[in-house]
Chain A
């Protein structure tokens, strides 16, 4: 069953959207913790801020769904097209040397996938109310992408910066 077929009503759509944002928030927190521990406070703060916005977004969707009985779906039963939710960054994509520009680049990739997810539902769902809300969420994700672009323009860091550690951990004994 495709993900579009799975999201057969508005309650299921809400359940998917909340899970998407909660999982993204959780991952941003995990990434922030990783970079915190490895003394990269700027990138940690960026991920922490992203976690905050993901959590706010989950809260907003939760508020809109108030009074509804949402289906309880196991994390592995969502059947996302990638291994995790569309807005969840890959743990393997971070390194202790990364800078704020790299973090924002990852975040933009996440937002783009979230946009594409909602956009696909808005175009392909046979349920008008689901399609309409998905279009609204796709527009919000587009807005988030715009905000991130603003952050990228403000940051002094660059994705082209050479990542160099004069005392790397990989020094085979």
Chain B
């Protein structure tokens, strides 16, 4: 038998569903899908042991394009849905995905509390600094002078969130930034994030070729964090504040107590599961 790029029996393509993505050709979200499937195959995770929860937006469609369990939830509410699932089914590998608007605006409050709660799950924000599905409005990560939308013809004049710094200030225990132009590196970071015990956050810079075509130049701007990782939050915040937003890698990783509500059982027995919620 010939060698494959995966260690296990399942190949990356086995984690893809038969549904063809309707993302625009050239969209960075394709690379996130590619990286997720490579990471899951590398970790040899059975399909039925993974759930991908998403919100609303272009990137939140990703769940339908995988063959693992999924829940395409309400706008901005992917994290609480995922937290509920993880509380009930500790045995599952829970991935959460969405865009910068979904995760940092509509779901912004959930994001900061998910960071401090430190449940064992992985959250990927596909950051293209724009609301793409609604045809290109400024999002919480859009630069203040971006004037590409008629809603903000002179730009928003509001400083954008720095998602990684926000995650650090909110208590996340694993923080990384990756670029979709390098799906293999994104897959490596995803594997580390999934293996991390606690809340792992990945800001995946994912160019929008339709509403932010200038982002296609990100491939010339990204650079690796040197050194890559620290467990010291002071060093991490200094690095993030000094960074141009294009530093890539696992910027911070720390072992912190993981929140897992008591009484959760990996049992899939419906009767005993119902008993846990009986009044």
Contact B5 A23 (CB under 8 A): yes
Task: Give residues of chain B (218-241) contacting chain A, Cβ–Cβ below 8 Å.
Answer: 219
Among B12, B25, B207, chain A packs the most CB atoms within 10 A around the CB of: B25
A120–B134 alpha-carbon span in the complex (Å):
47
CB-contact partner of B3 in A14, A34, A170, A173, under 8 A? A14
Q: Which of A14, A33, A169 contacts B21 (CB 8 A)?
A: A33
Q: Which of A83-116 contact B (CB under 8 A)?
A: 83-84, 90-96, 98
Query: Which one of A26, A91, A98 lies within 8 Å of B180 (CB-CB)?
Result: A91
Docked Cα-Cα span, A53 to B216, in Å, equals: 29
A18 and B148 contact, Cβ closer than 8 Å, known pairs A83-B182, A92-B28, A92-B207 = no
A37-71 residues at the B interface, CB under 8 angstroms: 37-38, 58, 61-63, 65-66, 70-71
- A36 pairs with B20, CB closer than 8 A: yes
List CB contacts (< 8 Å) of B198-215 with chain A: 207, 209-211
How long is the Cα–Cα vector from A29 to B13 in the complex, in angstroms? Answer: 10
Task: Tell me if B's interface is mostly helix, strand, loop or mixed.
Answer: loop
How many residues of chain A are within 8 Å of chain B by beta carbon? 45
Q: Does A73 interact with chain B (Cβ within 8 Å)?
A: yes
A31 proximity list for chain B (CB < 8 A): 25
Q: Across the interface, do B26 and A94 meet the contact criterion of CB distance under 8 Å?
A: yes
**B149: interface (CB < 8 Å):** yes
Contacting pair A173 B2 (CB below 8 A):
no
Nearest neighbor of A79 in chain B, beta-carbon distance: B184
Chain B residues with CB under 8 Å of A72's CB are 3, 7
**A37 / chain B contacts, CB cutoff of 8 Å:** 20-22
Q: B171 contacts the other chain (Cβ, under 8 Å)?
A: no
Instruction: Give the interface of A toward B (CB within 8 A).
Output: 14-15, 18-19, 22-23, 26, 30-31, 33-38, 58, 61-63, 65-66, 70-76, 78, 80, 83-84, 90-96, 98, 169-173
Interface residues of B (CB under 8 A from A): 1-5, 7, 12-13, 20-28, 30-31, 34, 38, 42, 134-137, 148-151, 180-185, 187-188, 191, 207, 209-211, 216, 219
Please name 7 further chain A to chain B contacts, defined as beta carbons within 8 Å, in addition to the given A37-B22, A91-B26, A95-B25, sorted by A numbering. A70-B2, A76-B185, A80-B184, A92-B26, A170-B135, A172-B148, A173-B150
